[in-house]
Structure 1
Amino acid sequence: MTQQQTPDVTPSIRTGWLPAPVGELMPLITGLGAGLSLCTACDLGLPDAVEEEPTPVGKIAERVGADPDLVGRLLRALAAFGVFRPVGADHFAHSRLSQILRTGAPEGGDVFLQTVRDEWMGGSWTGLTEAIRTGRPALPARHGKGMFEYFAQDAPREGETFNEAMTLMVGSMNEVLAEHIDVAGARRYVDVGGGQGTMLRAVLRHNPGLEGTLFDLEQALTDVHEDLRTGELSQRCEVVPGNGLEAVPEGGDIYQMRTVLHMWDDETCIQLLRNCARAARPGARIIVIDQLVDPERPDPMSSLMDLQMFLIAGGRERSEQEFAALFERAGLEFTKVVRTPVLLQLIEASVPSV
């Protein structure tokens, strides 16, 4: 058999044969099928069943215990989007996209997709219509409890996968964010809701004279980075458990919250910000690290994340003006936005000096 390899590209859906308005909608309309096809491929274990060399469809199907004809059709559909690559009529090879879906791939594609496949995420999106009608977040309505309570009590494995996905995605931005944080004049840096502490670790490594406090719920501090617990940074870092909606550690010069406020509604955010203001030194700074939405120029990532935050926790992504309003209601003074080249931005406020 002569095997001709097709280019490893990510195609787009051809819609020119349709009237313009319908054609422009087709990527959205067909997106559900594409996403579910990808989830099914991973449910079956296809990324691990395809070898380094082009693999016969029959062998792939035998490995995953599925119908050969339908496995071939599923692989062909995904190959149309650049996931897997057809070689000849009945072989498939990995593409750069399917490679990162293999178990343990360093890029973590399998972890991200597992999060999407988990019931708490998929079930929340299927509840979007009812959530918008009622104004009630889908996950708490479905399970009778908040997301973190649900993870702790009902779905610890899903919670672990979520934490791993967030560490991979958000953690990949730590170094860039740390480079953009100005700590001039600060002695103590408090990371509120910092979890494993990877953001605080990056900040302390960039600023050798700075001391840090990692603060989060006790159950969120079970896997703190070794450098902060016992390693090279442990002498400059204390780990403090607690609930930020009740109080936060006192005496900080900078209080940082990375991807925390977008989880909550305005009133909850204001309570957390007020607690930071009460605990901080006069003139201290508050740094919120989150996405920024532009109401006049919406982009897909922040807009969809805005809906997702509402569905799972009643939260939202906010504009610069909305953050400024939160700061004002919390008794803080909005100062500036520091733009970064990554997804997250630094939104800053200060504690009044008098």
Structure 2
Amino acid sequence: MGLRPRRRLPAGRLSAPPRRPGRSRPGPITRITVDMEEHPMSQQQTPAVAPSARTGWLPAPVGELMPLVTGLGAGLALCTACELGLPDAVEEEPTRVQDIAERAGADPDLVGRLLRALAAFGVFSPAGTDRFTHSRLSSILRTDALEGGGVFLQTVRDEWMGGSWTGLTEAVRTGSPALPARHGKSLFEYFATDAPREGETFNEAMTLMVGSMNEVLAEHIDVGGATRYVDVGGGQGTMLRAVLRRNPELRGVLFDLEQALTEVHEELRTGDLSGRCEIVPGDGLRSVPDDADIYQMRTVLHMWDDETCVRLLRNCARAAKPGARIIVIDQLVDPERPDPMSTLMDLQMFLIAGGRERSEQEFASLFERAGLEFTRVVRTPVLLHLIEAIVPA
């Protein structure tokens, strides 16, 4: 004998009344309704609900956490799409999932589901039930895109970054950065000896991201009659190039480790600015070039712990003319108004090198310990700002 299906109750009914004896069909049913706003259990046990496009109908506190929880999956989905070459497999016109999967050498069903998941975040756009086209965000992930979005995604997939984040729990427990603990060497030693391709991708990503801010930063630098300008840790020299182009009276020194100076911008090596630019290899933790009016460090101090930063700043103070200026270009952390970019970058800097992002007060403390006088912060419309000090007379 089969089981009889359980009857569904209309909304608002708590139970069905029993059948009356001797009748084959149920008698009249009394409809019972409950005002949930006045019901005491609704206020004590029913959590608030916060529907949204990202969280759905989840209790409010849990719903608010869901972007953090799902963010890991979304990031890995994006990395997977790039690793499979999906941005290059999607054409300008709507492209069939089957064709995309064949070009990627992947399972068509899962490619479609992956694209659908990314489309929910604005990466790719559905065009019918079995086709996708590019969105503004997916288009910058193509290998020929000038914006270089794929380069940034490659750094996330590389061991130096992705592997370091997997060591966050142990790093927080021990107070030791993850990458040196994992590989027994510093980040740049790791690039030089173990992963040169990762080092090249890192340099390319930094040139694209930080280099895109050069013109704005140079516009906010007041050289104030200076004649000799040293870019400490300047790498390819793109920041110094922007400063020299805006200040024709200025002579520059590009100073960095020898291995960091292998791809100096052509304009500084042999081009129009070569006559005003000296390229000097060296280690700033030992010494820096003498007698400059301005020593500038862009995204250098955030790589190091406080003791190392003070050591570098002291070397600048010793080498500089009295009254010379120190310009640090970095992010600024606001302890009372934390933002995702600076705070997550702060953790990343610790994981890979023991560094940190700093507040205005923390920079002022570094300057004081190095024998410098903190003067001001020049805020810019981009991610990085200018934190300045002077060498006492």
Class of the TM-score when normalised by the shorter of the 2 chains? over 0.9
1:270 aligned residue (289, 303, 310):
310
Residue 19 of structure 1, CA deviation: 1.6
| Aligned match for 1:49, one of 78, 83, 89 | 89
Q: Which has the larger radius of gyration?
A: 2
Q: Distance in 2 between the 1:53 and 1:302 partners?
A: 38
Are 2:302 and 2:358, in contact at CA under 8 Å, matched by a contact in 1?
A: yes
Which of 194, 201, 215 is the equivalent residue of 2:241?
A: 201
Candidates 197, 206, 222, aligned match of 1:182: 222
Does structure 1 residue 169 correspond to structure 2 residue 209? yes
For residues 219-238 of structure 1, what are the structure 2 equivalents within 5 Å?
A: 219-238=259-278
User: Does residue 331 in structure 1 map to residue 363 in structure 2?
Assistant: no
Residues 1:255 and 2:295 are matched in the alignment: yes
Instruction: Give the 5 Å matches for 1:135-150.
Output: 135-150=175-190
1:73 has 2:113 as partner: yes
Deviation at 1:16, TM superposition (A): 5.4
Matched residue, 1:5? none
After superposition, give the CA deviation of every residue in 1:131-172 in whole Å (9 maximum; x if it has no partner): 000001001011100000000001010000000000000001
1:129 to 169, 191, 195: 169
Matched-pair contact (CA < 8 Å) for 2:252–2:276: yes
- Asked whether the equivalents of residues 13 and 27 of structure 1 are also in contact (C-alpha less than 8 Å), the reply is no
Matches of 2:352 and 2:261 in 1, distance apart? 22
Q: Which residue of 1 aligns with 2:14?
A: none
Superposition TM-score, scaled by structure 1 size: 0.96
Are 2:385 and 1:345 aligned?
Answer: yes
Report the CA distance between 1:319 and its aligned residue: 0.3
Gaps of 5+ in 1: 1-11
> Which aligned runs of 4 or more in structure 1 are off by greater than 3 angstroms?
none
Partners of 1:139 and 1:146 within 8 A in 2 = yes
For the residues of structure 1 that align with 2:132 and 2:54, how far apart are their CA atoms?
23
Mark the runs of 5 or more structure 2 residues left unpaired by the alignment. Answer: 1-51
Q: Is the 2:54–2:67 Cα contact (8 Å) retained in structure 1?
A: no
1:15 shift after superposition: 2.6
One-letter identity of the residue aligned with 1:320: E
SS state at 2:101 partner: helix
Aligned 8 A contact 1:104 1:110 in 2? no
Q: Larger relative CO (CA 8 A, sep 6+): 1 or 2?
A: 1
Amino acid of the structure 1 residue aligned with 2:381: P
Partner of 2:101: 61
Give the equivalent residue in structure 2 for 1:101.
141
Q: Secondary structure at the match of 1:276?
A: helix
- TM-score, length of structure 2 as denominator length: 0.86
| Shift of residue 287, structure 1, vs aligned partner | 0.2
3-state DSSP of counterpart to 2:235: coil
Q: Secondary structure at the match of 1:347?
A: strand
Give the counterpart of 2:127 among 72, 79, 87: 87
Q: Secondary structure at the match of 1:15?
A: coil
| C-alpha separation in 2, matches of 1:177 and 1:69 | 47
Q: Tell me how far 1:104 sits from its aligned partner.
A: 2.4
Amino acid at match of 2:91: E
Q: Does 1:29 align with 2:69?
A: yes
Identity among equivalent positions (%) equals 86
Distance across 2 between alignment mates of 1:169 and 1:73 = 31
- 2: distance between equivalents of 1:127 and 1:14? 28
| 1:14 Cα deviation after fit | 3.0
- Once the two structures are TM-superposed, the CA of residue 203 in structure 1 deviates from its matched residue by 0.3
1:305/1:86 CA distance change after superposition, 3 Å: same
Q: Does 1:192 align with 2:232?
A: yes
Partner of 2:11: none
In the TM superposition, residue 48 of structure 1 has moved relative to its aligned partner by 0.7
The equivalent residue for 1:151 is 191
What secondary structure sits across from 1:177 in the alignment? helix
3-state SS of paired residue (1:244): coil
- Per-residue CA deviations over 1:274-302 (Å, capped at 9, x if unaligned) read 00000000110000000000001100000
Letter in 1 for 2:57: W
- Please give the secondary structure, in 2, of the residue aligned with 1:286: strand
Number of matched pairs: 342
Counterpart of 1:18, as a letter, is: L
Tell me how far apart the structure 2 counterparts of residues 156 and 15 of structure 1 sit (CA, whole Å).
41
